[in-house]
Amino acid sequence: MSDSTATGPVLAADGTPLKKSLAQALRREKTRALLLIAPLLIFVLISFIFPIGKMLFRSVENDIVADTIPLTVVELAKWDASSGELPNEDVYAAMAADMVVAIAAKAHTRLGSRLNYEQTGLSSLFRKSGRAIKKWDLATDAPFKEKFLEIHDGWGTVEVWQTIQTHSGRKTSGYFLNAIDMQLSPDGPAAQPESKQILITLFKRTMIMSMIITISCILLAYPVAWILANLPARKANLLMILVLLPFWTSLLVRTSAWKVMLQQQGVINDILVWLGLVADADRLVMINNQTGTIIAMTHILLPFMILPMYSVMQTIPITYLRAAKSLGATNWTAFWRVYFPQSVPGIGAGSILVFILSIGYYITPEIVGGTKGVFISNRIAYHISSSLNWGLAAALGAILLALVLILYWAYDKIVGIDNVKLG
């Protein structure tokens, strides 16, 4: 190591390799930097990355069937579901054994709820059967097939057993199929009955409305950002405060304010009627529908469009426009050919921000959206807090996340993510 040849590694003054020496010199700095960000890093890991991962995992996880009725699952695997005949006594005996254990642990109702997502009625089947099976003695009461059929007709239908068999795996694609209006039937993936098809519509609506909101934001924000970027600093600051003002007001207050503004007996309708533009009898319906959601969300998300646009436009010197005009371009040509292309990174950054925020938006559509103006996020919230179908909620969330990532990727391919400037 001590004698350096011409081809050997570059050495520092004391003979240690330069790379090692450099790493030692930088180690202290790196450690310090890491320590400084450690609290946030740990916080993000524990409270964000980990729960999200866990939540997303729920979209495919299906341990409940195999854990609650393990013997039945094994026996049921031998049964040919397509034969059209009921399973044999072995399956019923296994089910009886499993149920006695499950009832003692009060796990059978949860299994019922889980299977009820797939076939309506199974929840009550399990609940009712539980009360009867509790009194059975496994050693003496065999055979169980007739006893099951006595409790409930459900145990005598092939479909019930098919459902249990189909969903007995520890991993399931069922939630994801449900999320796109399909279901996992014994014969593989199939379309949901028409009455239950809603999620694709909601996804489409979320996408289309988010796009409309993003476009309205671009149209409204562009001139404002332009003025902001070209005013003298003092006036620009005042205007900037006005732009930021909404951030200082509660989201709920702002959304409720729109409710007051937009309702049929609201401020806007009153003014239109007073001006005679709208007849009193047919006041405009602007709330509890898509119009309401679009208006309120455009307003709420506008600052997220203005700020990146402003920061990009600030860096475009006015001389470019002057140069274009001195070269013979009209005001419009100068703007369109010279200024606008340079402001595209700001539009891109603002659009990504607004679009992503808006496809996950929940409160505003919930308050002003009515039934026609709700987003997929409202459905996710419903499954999380009301129907308690967390698996489906997780699947919907995962799809939403995937959509965002795909869009992000597409944007990178088309415009280039380097072109996004947030400040």
Partner 1 sequence: MADSGNTGAFVEFERVQKSYDGEILVVKDLNLSMPKGEFLTMLGPSGSGKTTCLMMLAGFETATHGEIRLDGVSINNIPPHKRGIGMVFQNYALFPHMTIAENLSFPLEVRKIDKSDREAKVMRALDMVEMGAFGGRRPSQLSGGQQQRVALARALVFEPELVLMDEPLGALDKQLREKMQFEITHLAHELGITVVYVTHDQTEALTMSDRVAVFEDGRIQQLAPPDKLYEEPENSFVAQFIGENNTLEGVVNEISGERAVVQLDSGDLIDCKPINVSKVGERTQVSIRPERVEFNVDRLQEGTHRLKAEVLEFIYMGDIFRTRLRVAGRDDFVVKTRNAPDQVRLQPGQEIEIGWLPEDCRALDA
Rounded distance, CA 236 to CA 296, Å? 25
Of 248 and 332, nearer to partner 1 (C-beta) is 332
11: Cβ contacts below 8 Å, ≥ 6 apart: 4, 17, 18
The answer to whether residue 21 forms part of the interface with partner 1 (CB under 8 A) is: no
Residue 389's DSSP bridge partners are none
Q: Where is 185: in which H helix or E strand?
A: strand 182-185
Find out whether the peptide bond into 143 is cis, omega within 30 degrees of 0.
yes
Other Cβ atoms less than 10 A from the Cβ of 295: the count is 20
Q: Are 175 and 59 in contact (CB under 8 A)?
A: yes
Instruction: State in angstroms the smallest separation of the CB of 333 from partner 1.
Output: 6
- Crossing angle of helices 89-104/122-133, nearest 10°? 80
Residue whose C-alpha is closest to residue 401's, from 376, 374, 379: 376
Question: Which residues in 303-362 contact partner 1 (CB under 8 A)?
Answer: 317, 319-320, 322-331, 333-334, 337-338, 341-342
Residue 191's DSSP bridge partners are 182
Q: Quick check: helix, strand or coil at residue 11?
A: strand
Instruction: State in angstroms the smallest separation of the CB of 169 from partner 1.
Output: 55
Instruction: State in angstroms the smallest separation of the CB of 28 from partner 1.
Output: 37
Of 19 and 337, nearer to partner 1 (C-beta) is 337
Rounded distance, CA 133 to CA 99, Å? 7
Write each residue from 271 to 310 as x if it is in contact with partner 1 (CB under 8 A), else as -, in one continuous string.
----------------------------------------
Instruction: Give the DSSP letter string of 195-247.
Output: GG--HHHHHHHHHHHHHHHHHHHHHHHHHHHHHHHHS-HHHHHHHHHHHHGGG
Of 197 and 326, nearer to partner 1 (C-beta) is 326
Instruction: State in angstroms the smallest separation of the CB of 413 from partner 1.
Output: 19
Residue carrying structure tokens 């049921």: 76
Write each residue from 96 to 115 as x if it is in contact with partner 1 (CB under 8 A), else as -, in one continuous string.
--------------------
Instruction: State in angstroms the smallest separation of the CB of 279 from partner 1.
Output: 47
Of 120 and 330, nearer to partner 1 (C-beta) is 330
The answer to whether residue 230 forms part of the interface with partner 1 (CB under 8 A) is: no
Of 19 and 322, nearer to partner 1 (C-beta) is 322
- Long-range own/partner contacts, residues 416-423 (CB < 8 A, 24 or more apart): 419/344, 419/345, 419/348, 420/308, 420/345, 420/348, 420/349, 420/352, 421/308, 421/311, 421/312, 421/315, 421/345, 421/346, 421/349, 422/308, 422/311, 422/349, 422/353, 423/307, 423/308, 423/311
Burial class (CB in 10 A: 0-12, 13-18, 19+), 183: middle
According to DSSP, residue 170 is labeled S
Of 39 and 341, nearer to partner 1 (C-beta) is 341
The answer to whether residue 221 forms part of the interface with partner 1 (CB under 8 A) is: no
Question: Which residues in 134-153 contact partner 1 (CB under 8 A)?
Answer: none
Instruction: State in angstroms the smallest separation of the CB of 348 from partner 1.
Output: 14
Q: Where is 189: in which H helix or E strand?
A: strand 188-191
Instruction: State in angstroms the smallest separation of the CB of 326 from partner 1.
Output: 4
Instruction: State in angstroms the smallest separation of the CB of 321 from partner 1.
Output: 9
Of 308 and 345, nearer to partner 1 (C-beta) is 345
Of 349 and 356, nearer to partner 1 (C-beta) is 349
Of 276 and 328, nearer to partner 1 (C-beta) is 328
The answer to whether residue 189 forms part of the interface with partner 1 (CB under 8 A) is: no
The answer to whether residue 201 forms part of the interface with partner 1 (CB under 8 A) is: no
The answer to whether residue 30 forms part of the interface with partner 1 (CB under 8 A) is: no
The answer to whether residue 395 forms part of the interface with partner 1 (CB under 8 A) is: no
Residue whose C-alpha is closest to residue 70's, from 49, 99, 40, 33: 99
How many of the chain's residues bind partner 1 (CB under 8 A)? 19
Instruction: State in angstroms the smallest separation of the CB of 355 from partner 1.
Output: 24
Of 242 and 327, nearer to partner 1 (C-beta) is 327
Instruction: State in angstroms the smallest separation of the CB of 336 from partner 1.
Output: 11
Please give the residue ranges that form the binding site for partner 1 (CB under 8 A). Answer: 317, 319-320, 322-331, 333-334, 337-338, 341-342
